[in-house]
C-alpha cells in the first residue's frame, strides 16, 4: 500500500509540472507568492493560489488560511488540519509555483521617488537602488523608516548600513512596504557685510561657515576679510554670543574644526578687507564654489 501511494505521489507531481522556481525546505512564504497546492484524489481542491497582502490565502471549503512566514511544509500541515473536517485523510503537497515580486513605495530624499516592483527576496538596499540611490546628503546619512504591509515601522541607520557596511540592517521588503528617507533639514542664517548678496541664506543641516559665505557670494569685488569673520549666535538661555573666526587660516591650514557648523538664526558678519589682507586665494576658491551652488 505504501509503495502504491508513493508511486501515485510521483505520478501526480509529474502531471502537475515543474514549478517555475525551486522549492527549498527553509523558504518562508511571502505575500505575492503563488502556491501550487495538490490534494490527491480531489481535482477541485488542486489549484494554484496567490498569497494575499495580509499573508493569507483563500482556499475552497476552508476559507482564509494565514500562511505568511511558514515553509511549504508548514503550509501543507495547515491545510491538512483544516481539510480534515471535509476530506478523509487528505494528502496535501504544496510547492512554490512562483515567488512574489513585491511592490515597494520609496519616498523622501531619493533621486526618483516612486513605486517599484522588486525581485523576490529583495531588501532595503534594493529598494533604495531602484529609486536611483540617495539624494544629496550633508554630513551623516539619515535614518530610514521602513513600514511593512502591516504598518509595523522600523528605523534603520543608513550610515551604519550603507557607509559602515552593517548588512544585518538590510531589512527584507515585501508587498506593500513603504521606505521613507528623510532629507536634510533646512534652516536660514543671515550673512551681512562684504559679500555679493547679503541677506538670508538657506542651508542644509550640517552646512558650515564656508558654505554660507560661498552661497552669499564672495567675488574679488566684495573684498571680504576672511581672517576676521564674526559669528553671532543665540544660546539656549536666550543670550547671544559673538565668536571671531579666522576662516582663511582654518581652511588654508586644514583646521576644519574652525569652519564651524551653523545653526538656525546664526548671523555672520564679513568685514571688508584691508589693503594688506592675504586671503585672496581663498576668496577666489569660495567664489568658484558659489558659482557651482
Write down the pLDDT at residue 26: 79
* Count of all residues that appear for the chain in the document: 293
- How far, CA to CA in Å, does 237 sit from each of 228, 233, 234? 26, 11, 8
Domains of the chain, first to last: 2-98 (3.30.1950.10), 103-181 (3.10.560.10), 186-292 (3.10.560.10)
3 state DSSP class of 168 = helix
Please state, in angstroms and rounded to a whole number, the distance separating the CA atoms of residues 16 and 37.
Answer: 10
- pLDDT tens profile 204-259: 877 889 889 889 887 877 788 888 999 999 998 989 999 998 887 777 766 677 78
Could you tell me which residues are beta bridge partners of residue 184?
Answer: none
**pTM of the full predicted structure?**
0.54
pLDDT < 50: residue spans in the chain = 1-23, 278, 280-293
Give φ, ψ of 23 to 5 degrees.
Answer: -85, 135
Per the listing, cell 581663498 goes with 282
Per-residue pLDDT at 275: 60
Place of cell 538656525: 264
Q: Which residues contact 63 (CB under 8 A, 6 or more apart)?
A: none
Query: What pLDDT sits at residue 150?
Result: 64
Query: What is the structure's pLDDT at 79?
Result: 93
pLDDT for the residue numbered 149: 65
In sequence order, the β-bridge partners of residue 190 are: 200, 267
Which residue has 540592517 as its cell numbers? 169
- Which residue in this structure is represented by grid cell 509540472? 17
pLDDT on residue 64? 92
Among 261, 238, 256, CA closest to 246: 256
Instruction: Report whether 138 contacts 207 (CB < 8 A).
Output: yes
Angstrom distance (rounded) from CA 36 to CA 13: 11
Residue 156: closest CA among 172, 140, 169: 169
Q: Whole-angstrom Cα distance, residue 211 to residue 245? A: 14
Amino acid at each position: 500500500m505504501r509503495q502504491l501511494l508513493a508511486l501515485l505521489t510521483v505520478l501526480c507531481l509529474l502531471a502537475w509540472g515543474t514549478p517555475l522556481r525551486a522549492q527549498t525546505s527553509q523558504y518562508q512564504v511571502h505575500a505575492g507568492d503563488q502556491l501550487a497546492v495538490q490534494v490527491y484524489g480531489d481535482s477541485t481542491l488542486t489549484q494554484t493560489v496567490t498569497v494575499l497582502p495580509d499573508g493569507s490565502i483563500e482556499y475552497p471549503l476552508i476559507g482564509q488560511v494565514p500562511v505568511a512566514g511558514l515553509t511549504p511544509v508548514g503550509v501543507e500541515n495547515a491545510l491538512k488540519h483544516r481539510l480534515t473536517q471535509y476530506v478523509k485523510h487528505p494528502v496535501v503537497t504544496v510547492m512554490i509555483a512562483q515567488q512574489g515580486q513585491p511592490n515597494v513605495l520609496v519616498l523622501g530624499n531619493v533621486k526618483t521617488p516612486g513605486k517599484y516592483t522588486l525581485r523576490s527576496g529583495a531588501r532595503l538596499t534594493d529598494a533604495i537602488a531602484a529609486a536611483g540611490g540617495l539624494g544629496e546628503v550633508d554630513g551623516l546619512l539619515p535614518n530610514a523608516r521602513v513600514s511593512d504591509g502591516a504598518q509595523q515601522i522600523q528605523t534603520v541607520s543608513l550610515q551604519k548600513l550603507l557607509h559602515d557596511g552593517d548588512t544585518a540592517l538590510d531589512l527584507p521588503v515585501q508587498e506593500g512596504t513603504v521606505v521613507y528617507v528623510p532629507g536634510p533639514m533646512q534652516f536660514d542664517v543671515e550673512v551681512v557685510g562684504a559679500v555679493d548678496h547679503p541677506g538670508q541664506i538657506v542651508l542644509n543641516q550640517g552646512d558650515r561657515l564656508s558654505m554660507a559665505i560661498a552661497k552669499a557670494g564672495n567675488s574679488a569685488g566684495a573684498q571680504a576679510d576672511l581672517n576676521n569673520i564674526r559669528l553671532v549666535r543665540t544660546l539656549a538661555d536666550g543670550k547671544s554670543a559673538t565668536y571671531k573666526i579666522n576662516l582663511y587660516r582654518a581652511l588654508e591650514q586644514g583646521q576644519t574644526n574652525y569652519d564651524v557648523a551653523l545653526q538656525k538664526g546664526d548671523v555672520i558678519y564679513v568685514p571688508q578687507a584691508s589693503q594688506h589682507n592675504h586671503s585672496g586665494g581663498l576668496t577666489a576658491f569660495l567664489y568658484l564654489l558659489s558659482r557651482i551652488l
